[in-house]
């Protein structure tokens, strides 16, 4: 792995940005998932301008282009950079690294031609006009990342003597600023992350995942789901396909706890974990194999004693409970504490949002499994931030698909 890739991956890890290894030998990685996914090969990213790279490959052309648009360009611009380190200009020549219209680091060449060395520049001592010039050149050429070589004239005015695209930048020259550079690249490439919902169901009915994805899609959110699959290899490929799809805004995976224990998680930590119908022994350690984010939410079945006993052990985690009984002790306790819960009354599936009791949909004599799956989907949609009318519309659409015309709402 090259130095630039190491810097970027280290920054990604520090910022909890997921990394998919596509080809380590070629330094090819995917940062982020879904709509925020970006490919990177060292410093070469999807944001690179092919036109800029092509122009800079023919230095005479880019020199003329810069001159014609009023940029101060040194007469030696088109020469090889190694020829620039003549004694009379060495002390006045330095490079500025620009990322996303910001000067993030600078270096000055210090040694002779046989053994180039660099010295870090304190950016606070770089004149504002020099930094502005480097940024304007980079923006003009349509580059997100570039290294601009400047020469200070006798009149103390900077002139452009070199422009390097990402394919020509040696990031090891900036080793002292590598942590900050990595952070700037992550901020540029992956500004946010898509949420991942993990649904753990032992009965494999997959009702919850169907309800939830319909609610999300009916709300205009591009949600992609993947149900449980006995073929581990096939499931892994399906997960990677979803996480690489640039249209996906929410990824929803249905799995069993046993399968996760045996085959690992594949994707990074989940924002929301729904645990429905687990009857086997369950511990906090095994639950945390799902890698719930610190700020993530766990939705539990308040009617299942195997899950209820985890409440004290999960202290500090955001919990949300669902129940088929409105008088369930946990439900009543949470309501008294003004905490959200979802439950079934005699007539409705209800969301208590901490203040008000909001009927979402009427109970049309569904089975307990269908009701509990719907309650979980309501809880997940609420946790994602959807209003009650969107939860209602999504549930109606999904339920109506499986009912006879005579029983439509």
CATH code (residue 105): 3.30.470.20
Question: What are the E-state strand segments in 115-249?
Answer: 118-120, 145-152, 158-164, 196-201, 223-226
What distance in Å separates the CA atoms of residue 100 and residue 114, rounded to the nearest whole number?
Answer: 33
What distance in Å separates the CA atoms of residue 402 and residue 127, rounded to the nearest whole number?
Answer: 69
On the 0-12 / 13-18 / 19+ scale of CB atoms within 10 A, 140 is middle
Q: Are residues 126 and 205 in the same domain?
A: no
Residue 304 lies in a domain: yes
Residue 33 lies in a domain: no
Domain tally, the chain: 2
Q: Are residues 229 and 92 in the same domain?
A: no
Phi, psi at residue 123, to the nearest 5°?
-65, -25
CA distances from 18 to 13, 41, 186, 210 (A): 7, 16, 11, 26
User: For the chain, how far is it from start to end, CA to CA, in angstroms?
Assistant: 59
Residue 101 lies in a domain: yes
pLDDT of amino acid 214: 93
Q: Which helix (H) or strand (E) holds 103?
A: strand 103-109
Using only the alpha carbons of the chain, give its radius of gyration. Answer: 28
Under 8 Å CB-to-CB from 252, ≥6 apart: which residues? Answer: 196, 197, 199, 209, 212, 213, 216, 223, 224, 225, 226
The two tokens of residue 28 are 């090819």
Q: Are residues 269 and 391 in the same domain?
A: yes
Residue 4 lies in a domain: no
Q: Name the nearest CA neighbour of 246 among 60, 31, 24.
A: 31
pLDDT of amino acid 398: 82
What distance in Å separates the CA atoms of residue 380 and residue 299, rounded to the nearest whole number?
Answer: 8
Q: Are residues 140 and 219 in the same domain?
A: no
| Grouped pLDDT means (10 residues each) for the chain, 409 residues | 92 91 88 92 81 70 87 74 54 88 88 60 91 95 91 82 89 93 93 89 72 93 83 82 93 80 77 74 61 85 81 81 94 95 93 94 83 93 94 86 46
Q: Structural domain of residue 96, as residue ranges?
A: 47-168
What are the beta bridge partners of residue 270? 292
Q: Which helix (H) or strand (E) holds 275?
A: strand 270-276
Residue 208 lies in a domain: yes
pLDDT of amino acid 212: 92
On the 0-12 / 13-18 / 19+ scale of CB atoms within 10 A, 137 is buried
């Amino acid at each position: 792995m090259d130095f630039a890739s190491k810097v970027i991956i280290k920054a990604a890890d520090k910022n909890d940005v997921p990394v998919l290894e596509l080809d380590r030998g070629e330094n090819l990685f995917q940062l982020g998932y879904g709509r925020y996914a970006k490919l990177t090969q060292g410093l070469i990213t999807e944001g690179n301008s092919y036109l800029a790279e092509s122009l800079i490959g023919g230095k005479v052309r880019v020199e003329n282009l810069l001159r014609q648009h009023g940029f101060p360009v040194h007469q030696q611009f088109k020469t090889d950079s190694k020829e620039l380190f003549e004694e009379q200009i060495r002390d006045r020549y330095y490079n500025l690294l620009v990322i996303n219209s910001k000067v993030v680091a600078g270096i000055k060449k210090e040694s002779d031609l046989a053994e180039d060395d660099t010295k870090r520049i304190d950016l606070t001592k770089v004149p504002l006009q020099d930094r502005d010039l480097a940024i304007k050149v980079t923006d003009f050429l349509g580059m997100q990342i570039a290294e601009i070589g400047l020469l200070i004239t006798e009149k103390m005015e900077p002139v452009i003597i070199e422009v390097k695209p990402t394919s020509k930048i040696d990031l090891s020259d900036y080793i002292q600023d590598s942590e900050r550079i990595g952070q700037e690249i992550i901020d540029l490439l992956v500004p946010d992350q898509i949420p991942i919902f993990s649904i753990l169901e032992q009965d494999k009915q997959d009702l919850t995942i169907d309800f939830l994805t319909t609610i999300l899609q009916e709300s205009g959110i591009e949600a992609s789901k993947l149900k449980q699959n006995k073929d581990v290899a096939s499931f892994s490929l399906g997960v990677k396909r979803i996480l690489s799809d640039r249209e996906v805004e929410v990824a929803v995976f249905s799995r069993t706890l046993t399968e996760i224990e045996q085959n690992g998680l594949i994707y990074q930590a989940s924002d929301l974990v729904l645990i429905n119908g687990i009857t086997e022994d369950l511990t906090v350690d095994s639950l945390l194999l799902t890698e719930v984010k610190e700020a993530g939410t766990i939705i539990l079945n308040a009617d299942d004693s195997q899950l209820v006993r985890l409440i004290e052990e999960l202290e500090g985690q955001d919990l949300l409970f669902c129940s088929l009984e409105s008088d369930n002790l946990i439900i009543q306790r949470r309501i008294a504490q003004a905490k959200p819960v979802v439950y079934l009354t005699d007539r409705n599936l209800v969301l208590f949002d901490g203040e008000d009791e909001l009927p979402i949909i009427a109970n049309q004599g569904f089975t307990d499994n269908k009701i509990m799956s719907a309650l979980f989907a309501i809880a997940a949609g609420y946790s994602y931030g959807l209003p009650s009318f969107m939860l209602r519309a999504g549930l109606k659409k999904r339920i109506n698909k499986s009912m006879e015309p005579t029983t439509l709402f």
